[in-house]
Amino acid sequence: MKSNTAQIRASAYSEGTHLVLAGAGTGKTFTMIRRIENTLPYAQKLKKKILILTFSRKAAEEIKQRLFKKNIASIESLYAGTIHSFCYDIICRNMSAYKQVWKAPGQPKIITDDDEMNLLYEHFSLNKSRYMGMPLKTVYSLYKLGPDKVKKIPVLSTNGELISNLQELFIRMDSVKSRMNLIGFSEIIDRAVTLIRTDKKISDSLSDMYFAAFIDEFQDTSETDMELIKLVMGINRNIFLVGDDYQAIYGFRGADVGIIMNLKKYFKNLTVHKLILNYRSHKEITDLAEKIIRHNRKKTRKKLVSVQGKGGSVNIHGADTAEAEQDVIRSILSSGHGRNKKTAILVRNNWQISCLNKHLHDYIGPKTEILTMHKSKGLEYERVIVSGINDEIFPSPMSDIEEERRLFFVAVTRAVKELHIIYHSDGIHIPKFISEIT
């Protein structure tokens, strides 16, 4: 891939903190790799490392493989991993300090989300009526958010008794985990930050070790993540941040889209680059994506430009029942000219995947995947079917409307050439997201 002008500017090494606002399909990983390549000689001259942090193992491995394949870097010259694995390494390498700060008997064990939810269920199931009929997954999501943020959720804030019952449950859960020396993924970063903040030797050793930091998917950052980055880098401000506020879809995990939008509050001498040339999707699809996101009030100013130009298709289908929706999908999948296209069916929730798998198994060939919109992030398909748009399902009544709209943006920008959107309608009311784009 040949660099465009914006990518060349963003990838050239210069000191300071740089933010790359990289739209969907604009080559953000390519640009980051080039920037790392241009930064490494300066780090090696000072015998320091490059720190590369991501929010998924897959992304970390991809960056490492691309660097090692081109012989750009050696294992000794950098650390590339998830922000969680990096923080767990800090904890494990400073165990005596950790035991003292957290009064822990030894190295903590990481509890997976599934195991943590099962542990929560043991206490939740004792008296479900205290939680107003909330399903376990919703209660678990609230637990991950933390008590302070739960109190600010509009639909919950007026119910003092429910808030009190949830807080009691969460305190009980924390007590059990402490007794068993368990920490969840959401706590790993908090504990590493506390360690670095309370022990100057740890903070000094980290800032001496790294010449520059590269943070991928920066739109998914929380306040705690930001504090970690600043503590690790110390007075050294060679920080390269890549993200897209239009694709910030993890607020339910504590990510704060306001950070990427107001980054000058944290770094006064910030340099901002914008990547807007989309190499993935045809113009019809990028135009629709712009229609979706323009309804959000909280966003940076940028507009995707399709390098491919015209030649794609956007098709919007109404269906009055779940069976009619399945018939539409069958018709799309079995159309003569499109049977061999790499296809994804994207839905809002996991239960929709089970339902579609059950009813469409004869039509889903090896080229078709059914996955949630969240799971589709970073992927691309020649044909995308966004299914199940309904005001009771998507946008989710339990989620922030602007985050749901960003999730819609993510879903449609997975499509290269052919996009189908299927919505539920009773013939009178049109779902909110459909009315915004038609």
> pLDDT per residue over 299-336, tens digit each?
999 999 999 999 999 999 999 999 999 999 999 998 86
Where do we find the tokens 């007794």?
179
pLDDT reported for residue 394: 95
244 Cα distance to chain centroid: 10
Q: What angle, 0 to 180 degrees and rounded to 10, lies between the N-to-C axes of helices 401-412 and 283-293?
A: 180
Give Cα 358 to chain centroid, integer Å: 28
> 160-179 and 113-124 helices cross at what angle (nearest 10)?
120
Yes or no: say if 252 and 399 are a contact pair by the CB < 8 Å rule: yes
Structure confidence at residue 336 (pLDDT): 63
Q: Among 298, 378, 376, which Cα is nearest to 343's?
A: 376
**Regions of the chain with pLDDT less than 50:** none
DSSP string, 233-297: HTT---EEEEE-GGG---GGGT--HHHHHTGGGT-TT-EEEEE-EESSS-HHHHHHHHHHHTT-S
What is the pLDDT, as a whole number, of residue 132? Answer: 80
Question: How much is the pLDDT for 142?
Answer: 86
- What per-residue confidence (pLDDT) applies to 73? 67
